[in-house]
Chains A and B, each alone.
Chain A
Amino acid sequence: MFDLLPHILNGLTLGLLFALIALGFMLIVGLMEQINLAHGSLFALGAYFAMQLMGPRPPLPADLAQSWLALPLGWRYAATLILAPAAVGLVGIAIEFCMRRTYGKDPLYGLLLTFGAAMVIEEMIRLTWGTRDYVVQVPQAVSGGFIFGDLIWSTYRFYAAGIAAAVIGLVWLLIEKTSFGATVKAGAHDSEIVRALGINLTRLRLLVFVFGTMLAAVAGIIVAPIWGIRPHMGVDAVIPAFLVIVLGGVGSFWGAVVAGLLVGLAVGLSGAYASEWSLLSMYVLLVAVVTFRARGLWGKKSVLEA
């Protein structure tokens, strides 16, 4: 049992990262009923923007770049956590402008559009930054390892899990405890009534989409120092994101969080005790759950169960 504990702890921290990756994806699916296949590419874009901002040659005028680089790394990192998602948010605006023609039509249109956007973003990344790998610097205070229970642990991983938990909490507050969240949920439930009440649904959808996009970017920045930065890193994110929301139940906030933790535990424990199953374990978990509960853990009752 004592041997097992480190792997449970590792699985839970990994699970929080999976939940963070899935969060923006879940919001857009749950509140807009649009599957954003560009989520992984926006995740990658967040990491690239952060790398560019933090790197030795930030894309700023010479004077400004000098002042920026003079700031302590921790400050720059904190600012990057806001600036890079904001920049990715602009890309989100562009995608949403293209996507709004597909609302209310066959969901396939939205799927194809975001699929195309994913391809465009990935190729733009290749054209801009090439195929090589990059590293994001993290502040000294959160790098390296620490000893706990006779083992060395990654400081950054716990820091990343902490940030993930904080972001998840903030999103929950926004959705559940603010009038904005209530309006968004009402819009998802019955858009005609919301529009009839005089609420600008077009703007509301734009805000939700851009918010989801920015969450993808935040996840990219947080996870990049662990996974590394490369053009196709988005694929590594979009599949677990999809899996987590299906497992948790489409549209369920806490379903996504719990599913993220379960996937993290499955990957962490299988990595230690049946390593060849570590990637497959998340798919096995999904199959096991949807076989008995097609709607996912906390999903609404679907036609599959009618």
Chain B
Amino acid sequence: MKQREISRRSVLQGSLMASALAGTASYFGPWKENRVWAQGAAKPIKLGLTCDASGQYGNSGQDDLRGIQMAIDEANAKGGVLGRKITWITADTETTPATGSRLAERFITREDCTILIGAVHSGVANAITQVAAKNGVIYLNTNSSAPSEAGENCSRIKFVWDGNGTNFSKASVANAVNSIGKKWMLLTNDYVWGHTTSAATKAQVEGAGGKIVDNLLVPQNTRDFTAYLLKIQQAKPDVVATAVGGDDIKALREQVAQLKLDGKPAWINNQQDWPDVWGSPDSLFGVFGTTWYHKLALPGVADFVKKWQATNKEGSIPVPGNVSYNGYMATRELLRAIERAGSTNNVKIIKELENLKVSATDRMQHFDAYMDPVTHQMQQTIYLARRNPKPADKTDLYEIISWTEPKAVADTDAQAKCKLVPYEQVPTVDS
């Protein structure tokens, strides 16, 4: 079902690119930059933003982009990084690994991007990683959260900024087995994030003395969940744990709410990305994980929300959610790392990011966060939430019910699976 989408958008992008090449870009793009360099200004640092604009995670990809742009704008407003302006280019990865890979190749070899940022779908993130690693280009996986991204698919050039399926499972499962019941069913999106996240949940359930009675695989782009919901009703589990994302979880939520199955069984949705929640808040149910919420009662949150709103007046989502937050934090920390390294040499930046520690205040979370040097995944506070029964305004959809410190939910399995190549084997990149 994706094929039509791909070709439609590819054709459109192709036409737009062709007209851009034939028209304004050739007059005002490179010439303008060359003129600036000729006047003695430093060459800009060019970032490739690999964000989805269509497909299953099109909405989230664009929300990611908003956060990334905000961090870039802030840096440029302060005069750039190392006295150099930050420029960027983006195109639609279509939530498709093949397109993500093609785009990464183009950004690196033809657009001279020396750093890539952005992904929501783990398959897309992994495809981009392969291209980036081959070229030694640093890649920030902002929002895809398959445990494999910092496990078997980790890379010296890649840094993962979202909490992963294991982190969220560790925060929620043991408590639910003890307080709700031992009979569990899994509902798993049939791709890398779904599989690895459900595997992590299964391990946690069994570790806590529970039992998985069935695992229903949900193909990507499933719109009708009735067969699954009937099967769940027939099996009568205590808890259903979902690892379903993007447009699929939106359709699932609508149908669960319509059948009023949102009370029994209990539902644990591994993670809810804000763009997936916004638009149909009435179907928000169960307990779910997140890394940030725009109404956390912490210093700096309200100011951040105001700044984000000032730069995103036209957006369809009125407040920053976890996706935009991760995009912002990843980009901000990258630019700071370049400043600290005093260089755009890739290995120097990588070493800075590997030693990254961010205070709770600076992250606007409850606990200090740190980059795991073994897996390159940001270890941060994991929040559990449920629908807010008494919202303060129409954006106040979550009730945060717990926050867990990074060490308590650390993905120790990923550390055993991740094998980073030595620095000497990373091709040198310097912009």
Q: Which residues does A use to contact B, with CB under 8 Å?
A: 3, 6-7, 10-11, 14, 40, 115, 118-119, 122-123, 130-135, 143-145, 151-154, 156-157, 225-228, 230-232, 235-236, 238-239, 267-272, 275-276, 278-280
Contacts and interface: CB of A to CB of B under 8 A. Distances in A.
Interface string B384-411: 0000000000000000000000000000
29 contacts: A6-B234, A7-B227, A7-B230, A130-B316, A132-B59, A132-B275, A133-B247, A133-B250, A134-B279, A144-B260, A145-B260, A153-B259, A228-B223, A230-B250, A231-B58, A232-B54, A232-B58, A235-B4, A235-B5, A267-B227, A268-B226, A271-B224, A271-B226, A271-B227, A271-B231, A272-B228, A275-B216, A275-B218, A275-B231
Contact of B259 (A154, A236, A276): A154
Contacts, number: 136
A276 B250 contact: no
Contact of A272 (B12, B59, B231, B255): B231
Contacts of A119: 8, 11-12
Nearest to B218: A275
A275 B228 contact: yes
Interface in B363-400: none
A157 B219 CA distance: 21
B82 interface: no
A20 to B, nearest CB: 14
A144 B221 CA distance: 24
Contacts of B250: 133, 228, 230
B55 A232 contact: yes
Given A144-B258, A226-B255, A239-B4, A272 B223 contact: no
Interface in B43-72: 53-55, 58-59, 62
Interface in B257-272: 258-261
B217 interface: yes
A227 B227 contact: no
Contacts of B254: 135, 225-226, 228
A154 B227 CA distance: 12
Given A143-B258, A272-B230, A275-B217, 8 more contacts: A118-B8, A132-B59, A144-B258, A145-B258, A228-B251, A236-B223, A267-B227, A278-B218
A135 B280 contact: yes
B241 to A, nearest CB: 15
Interface string B238-258: 000000000100110011001
B228 A132 contact: no
B280 A228 contact: yes
A275 B250 CA distance: 19
Nearest to B258: A154
B190 interface: yes
B62 A232 contact: no
B1 interface: yes
Contact of B227 (A10, A132, A228, A239): A10
B251 A239 contact: no
A10 to B, nearest CB: 5
Contacts of B234: 3, 6, 151
